[in-house]
Structure 1
């Protein structure tokens, strides 16, 4: 599907709140398990000194929709990926809480492995139980993320950095901005849960780049 600047900007604008663990509100992004701030790696766009197999970027892959993903360091194995788009009110769709293991690929961005920044979203918890991104906050630079694609290829990414930011300071340009390299962003929520608003205060963002 053709991805337009309007669609991208519309999705950016809704990353300001999160679902409550119970009583989901369709269209708002991603609940989180964290009840307090968790330390994460410094917010950089590249790990400072990549080594070994992560030292060189590789050419991007052709377009092909993602099917499943694995993140061995945090126990994610063959998590199914479904495309998500925009609701009628221009909020981003998210995987249903009833399927806490499901990952959403924002289909108005590149497919994982294509040139540009692909975006995957997932729940951290659902109805009080851990979900697919429950341990994303534990990822560190160099961790491997693999995405199996519809054409039979596998895009292998290395984590560059993690960032935990307040919802009112979401780094729109860094997450959704143009990049010529094949990159990946994982987005979920974090920080303290605000009982008054029914939202978590922060986002946790993982930045990664294609290595094979």
Structure 2
């Protein structure tokens, strides 16, 4: 995500204790979602909050705007560019059943998810997530 200075590897991971919860400073592709670039909605997550004196890996995610580009590089070589078409905060409970994240898509879609740093907290956790959607250019 060159527009916000993010160039990090993406780690393939499943659930951790029943939730998508990547380690600090890790960008996670949720392996129960389609591979980024394949038909369907690929879920990619990272933390927004600081950890160990460093900003969260997705701390700049809210600075992305529709039209900005995301490039995914693949381990075997090659890359694919996506363009952001929507971004918005979504309540955590609503996100669990949001068809824009968990529904079907005949075309590739990437849903980048982090906590909404501007939302109120409940027991130390944000009550909302922040989601950015992108589709191939």
Report the TM-score when normalising by structure 2: 0.89
Deviations 1:87-109 (A, max 9, x none): 4x5x1343222xx1x20000111
Counterpart mapping for 1:22-61 below 5 A: none
CA contact (8 A) 2:20 2:45 kept: no
Residues of 1 paired with 2:80 and 2:119: CA distance? 33
**Partner SS for 2:77:** coil
Q: In the aligned structure 1, how far is the partner of 2:20 from the partner of 2:130?
A: 18
Alignment check: 8 A CA contact 2:40 2:107 kept: yes
Q: Report the Cα distance in structure 2 between the residues aligned to 1:157 and 1:104, rounded to whole angstroms.
A: 17
Q: Provide the aligned length of Structure 1 versus Structure 2.
A: 134
Residue number in structure 1 paired with 2:30: 106
Pick which of 153-162 and 121-130 moved more: 121-130
Query: What is the CA–CA distance in structure 1 between the aligned matches of 2:67 and 2:9, rounded to whole Å?
Result: 23
Q: Could you tell me which of 145, 148, 154 is aligned with 2:70?
A: 145
Matches within 5 A, 1:151-190: 151-170=76-95, 172-190=98-116
In 1: Cα distance, 2:135 partner to 2:57 partner = 21
TM-score by length of 1: 0.59
SS at match of 1:130: coil
**3-state SS of paired residue (2:76):** coil
In structure 2, the residue matched to 1:72 is 2
Does 2:52 match 1:124? Answer: no
Query: Which sections of structure 1, spanning at least 5 residues, go unmatched?
Result: 1-70
1:93, 1:202 → 2: CA distance? 14
**Higher RCO structure, 1 or 2 (CA under 8 Å, sep 6+):** 1
In structure 2, C-alpha distance between the alignment counterparts of 1:149 and 1:92, rounded to whole Å: 25
1:85 corresponds to? 14
2:59 is the alignment partner of 1:134: yes
Per-residue deviation at 1:168?
3.0
For structure 2, the 5+ residue unaligned runs are none
Within the alignment, does 1:192 sit opposite 2:119 as a pair?
yes
RMSD: 1.6
